[in-house]
Structure 1
C-alpha cells in the first residue's frame, strides 16, 4: 500500500495530443538521464505492445522497476493512446530488471495499476474493461 501511495504521489502531468494512425512506434521507458550503459545485455527483449481496449482514451502510462517506489515519467509524453490503438514500448531501462509495475490513467478518471509484470516474458499487455 505504501508503495502505491509513493508512486501515485509522483503523478501530476497533463497531456494533450493523439497517437498518429501510423504503425505503433517504439517508445522507450528510459530517459537518457537514467539509462545505465544503454540496453541490458542479458539478451531479453523488453519491448511490450500496450493495447488499449477499454473504450476510453489512455492519457498517461507509467512503467517502473518493481523494486522502486517512483513512477518516473509518463511514457506517453505529449501523446495519448486512443481506444483500439496499440503502442510498442521499450521497457528496458538498462538495469537488467524484468519485473515492472504498470499504471495507466484514462479519460473516464479510472486508473489501473498492475504490479510485477515480467517484461522479459510478456510481449503484449492489453487493457480492457
Structure 2
C-alpha cells in the first residue's frame, strides 16, 4: 500500500511542477532623477501588447528628485515587463524587458 501512496505523491509532484507560477505582486522604489515631473507610469508584461493602468494613479505625479514605492500587482506570473514613462512635457520613453522579479529600484534619467 505504501508503494501506491509514493506513486501518487510522485504524480502530484509532477503535476505541480507543470503548473504555471503563482501570480505575483512586486514592489520597488521608483526614483525620478530627471529634470521633469513624471505624470504617468504604465507597465505591461513584455509578452502583452497592451499597457496596464497608470501606476501613479489619478492626479499622481513624481516630481524631479523624489522617489516613491511602486506596486505591480496585475496577476501576471511574468518577470519581464515593459515600462512607459510620460513626462510633464508629454514626452514618452519606453523601456523594454525590465526584470521586475529582481528589481529593488529603478531610476529615471534625462
What TM bracket, shorter-length normalisation?
Answer: 0.7 to 0.9
Relative to its length, the structure with more helix (as a share) is: 2
Structure with bigger gyration radius: 2
Q: Aligned to 1:93, which of 62, 66, 74?
A: 74
Relative to its length, the structure with more strand (as a share) is: 2
Q: Which runs of 5+ in 2 are unaligned?
A: 1-21
Deviations 1:34-92 (A, max 9, x none): xxxx953xxxx721211111111101000111110101211112211111111111223
SS at match of 2:31: strand
**Which residue number corresponds to residue 32 of structure 1?**
none
Aligned residues: 88
**Which residue number corresponds to residue 36 of structure 2?**
56
**Which residue number corresponds to residue 85 of structure 2?**
104
Deviations 1:101-120 (A, max 9, x none): 00111112321110010001
Q: TM-score, normalised by structure 1?
A: 0.62
- Over aligned residues, Cα RMSD in angstroms? 1.7
